[in-house]
Amino acid sequence: MVDFLNPDQRSTSEGQSYALFFALVNNDQVLFDKVLSWTRHNLCGGRPDLNLPAWLWGRDGSGAWRVLDANTASDGELWIAYALLEAGRLWSRPGFLKAGQQMLQLIRTQEVATLPGLGPMLLPGRTGFVDNGRWTLNPSYLPIQVLRRCANADPKGPWAAIAANSARVLRDSAPVGFAPDWTVWDGKTFNADPKRGNVGSYDAIRVYLWAGMLDAGEPLRARLLQDLSGPADLLAAQQTPAEKIDTARGVGTGALPVGFSAALLPYLSALGKPALLKAQAQRVPAATQPAAAALPYFERTLALFGQGWLENRYRFAADGRLLPAWRTPACAATT
């Protein structure tokens, strides 16, 4: 997966994780194997059993292709582990199950911390997110359905506790119903990130996407949707959510990207807002249209998630299992 908008033509662990997920949804084992092989060789140094993937690969100033930042990004790793676990289960490939469990162990030892006043939590990466009794967190790195599957695969691990604590992160960092891109826990309360402020934008949009795709049997679903009501409330008031939201005031700036509309489709469906859903769906080009191919990497990814879910190409079970249409034709009945 390449982001051509950046001059370094970067690939990220996040992008690789999404490519693996969509290959699985499309039942494409050949593509899955190719993406996984490249990721292991280039981002994990050829030793995925020992190394979490570096988050950033691209072309440096001299024109050489290499790891540009060796730090990790737990969102990509969590989705890679999830894709491996589910590929192993759905395709009956035990090597993938083992690899997924190995990655969970690496995440546990390198990126999970017990935060005072909160409990076990997934940090955004290996380094750079803890500073003198303050922990920087990213709410979009905490998809509940993925954490449920991790808990099933690693029942002695911290995943169930992280899922429960994630609900608090999502609730308390969104005081007026809008998730921030980043939030800082000081041991007692969540605060604005001192560098990034209260903005909710390209990271936070995924919070609504993940919440909207939760199974109806997920016990945290109803409260999460209530706590994240900001975008739906804006749309109901005939206002348009913006590219950037001040999450403390609910005020936005910038035109809403097409990919954001796609990300809101499962969310609006889950909230039972058919008119709002239809209006946002009309903004998103069909995957076969040239306008879809012209979308930037991240917006196109959001479109694949949102449209694919709306078209019943996949669902998530209450325990986090992936229910692809090629394996579960009636997957729409699970929501």
Catalytic residue annotation: 14, 75
Stated as kind and residue range, the H or E segment containing 86 is helix 74-90
Contacts for 193 with CB less than 8 Å, ≥ 6 apart: 136, 180, 181, 182, 183, 184
Sheet holding 251-253, edge to edge: 199-200, 244-246, 251-253
Longest CA–CA separation in the chain, Å: 53
Nearest alpha carbon to residue 93 among 36, 53, 144, 22: 36
Angle at 38 between CA 26 and CA 207, to 5 degrees: 55
User: Is residue 253 helix, strand or coil?
Assistant: strand
